[in-house]
Amino acid sequence: MSSEDKEFIRELFVYKKIGRKQFFLKQGEICKYCGFIIKGSMKQYSGDDLGKENVINLYLENWWVADRESLLGSKPTIYNIEACEDTKILMISQEGIKEMTKVTAFTN
């Protein structure tokens, strides 16, 4: 990978720290980013009328995290995505994903 390619990719991602019990995404929001977990873990869940969490997904280090349906459809999510522990992630927007895909499609 060339240094220009590395710099292009570096510019598309934003580094963020999310503390334990803080949200990456809350129910009712539109998911604007896909995150890559460098360190930590997250859970995706919905809540029922009794306040019980129904965990849908667990996301661990070196995994991608997002509500794909909300991200791609630009519609409010029905889920929460919350850090289970202090977490470090790299985030890329939907526009950034499109830009990266456009460039890599021509280089392969």
Examine residue 107 and state whether it is found in any structural domain, yes or no: no
How many distinct structural domains can be found in the chain? 1
What per-residue string of b and e applies to 49-66 under the rule 16 or more CB within 10 Å gives b?
Answer: eeeeeeeeeebeeeeebb
DSSP result, 36-77: EEEES-EEEEEE-TTS-EEEEEEE-TT-EE--HHHHHHT-B-
**Above 80 in pLDDT, residue 106?**
no
Which range marks the domain in which residue 90 is found?
Answer: 14-95
User: Does 64 fall in a domain?
Assistant: yes
**What burial class does residue 89 get, using C-beta atoms within 10 Å of its C-beta: 0-12 exposed, 13-18 middle, 19+ buried?**
buried
Residues counted in the chain:
108
Q: Is residue 52 one of the residues assigned to a domain?
A: yes
Whether 105 is covered by a domain: the verdict is: no
61 in any annotated domain = yes
CATH of the domain at 47: 2.60.120.10
- Token duo for residue 24: 């990456």
- pLDDT, one tens digit per residue, over 69-92 is 999 999 999 999 999 999 999 999
pLDDT at 7 over 80: yes
Cβ-in-10-Å burial (0-12, 13-18, 19+) of 32 comes to middle
Domain-embedded: residue 2: no
**pLDDT given at position 48:** 80
Q: Is residue 42 part of a domain?
A: yes
Report yes or no on 5 lying in a domain. no
